[in-house]
Chains A and B, each alone.
Chain A
Amino acid sequence: MHDAPSQKEMIAAVKAFIDDTAMPNLKGHAAFHARVASNVLATVLRELEIRPLAENDERERLSSLLNADQNMTISELNLKLCELLRQGELGLDTPGLLEHLKTTTIAQLSIDQPNYSGLPSD
């Protein structure tokens, strides 16, 4: 299959159209939604960059935290983690749990809201 233009190039082209052409011609509510649309495309571009590696790391951490079968998918692993947390089998005192959740959430925010005030400021 072809990738000229690539996903990234196509999204960047649409984002540039919104920013440089559409937005200056819109007013009020429509201009607001255009800005949101541009931000969503920026999120997608960050996700294409960050997610593959971050999700792979997340899967490895989850496997070792849950001592799980290597064949489990990331959504199966997260579902399992949720069950164990809900039942109280895992909690704040579980070694490695907070570190895992924090690393995962920071990676998620580096896609979703990279300037959020709750992120560590180092």
Chain B
Amino acid sequence: MGVPRDCDKMGRQDDILKGLQDWAGQFYGSGATVERLVRLSGGASQETWSLDVEHSGIVDELILRRVPGGVSVARNSEAIDLGTEAKLLGCAEHTVPTPKVLKVFDPSSEIGEAFLMNRIAGQTIARKILRDDVYENARQCLTAQCGKALSGIHAIPIERLPTLPKSGGLDQLAKYETIYRGFDIPRPVFELTMAWLKKNQPQPVDPVLVHGDFRLGNLIVNEHGLAAVLDWELAHLGDPREDIAWLCVNSWRFGQSQNRVGGFGHLNELLDAYEASGGQNFAADQIDWWEILGSLKWGIMCMIMYEAFRSGSDPSVERAAIGRRVSETEIDLLNLLETRA
């Protein structure tokens, strides 16, 4: 079983290397060489490769983002394609710390659908960022930096953006409710939450670019704080409060529940920095509805991952086990709803 698969893998890596080498020769000149090409993550949605280009005694450190196998297939209907993601990074680079895109590969190229960007040094693992001494100074600055980055994302004029899906809070609620009902696994806390969210809809605000997954894990942090915002594939046009609240969802505080913002900061500080850098003035209680929606969404996402086990499409013990994390979001929802009773 292993042999044909490994041959296939080697073939792909050789093709990628050759495609990158051809690009480097054109971009930097004929002496340039591609070194240390290594696959970093086996992300379900996109491949990430690390590589260095050596030219005239200089080393450029790069990242290749690539559709698995180089060919995009219909997957998460919400996720944008890689070409759109590359365009978004270009739109965001003046107002948000992001990697710089150097080259977008055509889906018909040797490499397949992919883009190259510069590699930014730092940490993405939440538990290290929240606990290691080396990030103590970073933790002090991170809340204000995230407020500024979020206002930078939300300020990008819509007319400059590539075509993106539109998704407001009620659209998302309807979508996740349909998924939940399809599983036929009744959960009273989710029923209470969905009924409450429908009954207490917030006043709509003008749609903006929403990152869609702004949280530790998708942020590069160095000893000075926020170095880059990654993983834009859930970007859409929607409500700015969605991004602010998603960062507050208890699941993304990684055990540091006392700090509402990502396990490291306080919401008022984030909202002050957001407004000071040009964002709208939101009060803390305007974030609550969106945080409740966020916890519900994450709970149903855990059910989706468990469903992959139940249906047999991914029989791993890990997919089975994640079904027993849904109750985490139930206690989070009850803690949030209790203050509204």
Contact = CB atoms under 8 A, between A and B. Distances in A.
Interface string B239-257: 0000000000010010111
Contacts of A43: 321, 324
A85 B195 CA distance: 7
B302 to A, nearest CB: 11
A118 B331 contact: yes
Q: Chain B CB within 10 Å — which of A91, A92, A118, A119 has the most?
A: A118
Interface residues of B, number: 33
B135 to A, nearest CB: 19
A105 interface: yes
Contacts of A117: 250, 253, 255-257
B127 to A, nearest CB: 12
Contacts of B30: none
A105 B192 contact: no
B6 interface: no
Most buried by A among B187, B194, B330, B332: B330
B192 A113 contact: no
Contact of B331 (A33, A92, A105): A105
B208 interface: no
Interface in B315-341: 316-318, 320-321, 324-325, 327-328, 330-332, 334-335, 337-338, 340-341
B186 interface: yes
Interface stretch (A4-12, A19-27, A48-56, A75-83): A75-83
Contacts of B320: 40
B328 A86 contact: no
A36 interface: yes
B316 A33 contact: yes
Nearest to B192: A85
A32 B319 CA distance: 13
Interface of B: 186-189, 191-192, 194-196, 199, 250, 253, 255-257, 316-318, 320-321, 324-325, 327-328, 330-332, 334-335, 337-338, 340-341
Which 6 A-B pairs have CB atoms at the shortest separation, nearest pair first?
A: A85-B191, A118-B331, A112-B324, A117-B257, A82-B186, A108-B327
14 contacts: A33-B316, A33-B317, A40-B320, A79-B186, A82-B187, A82-B188, A82-B191, A92-B192, A102-B331, A108-B327, A109-B328, A112-B325, A116-B331, A117-B255
Interface of A: 32-33, 36-37, 39-40, 43, 78-79, 81-82, 85-86, 88, 91-93, 97-98, 101-102, 104-106, 108-109, 111-113, 116-119
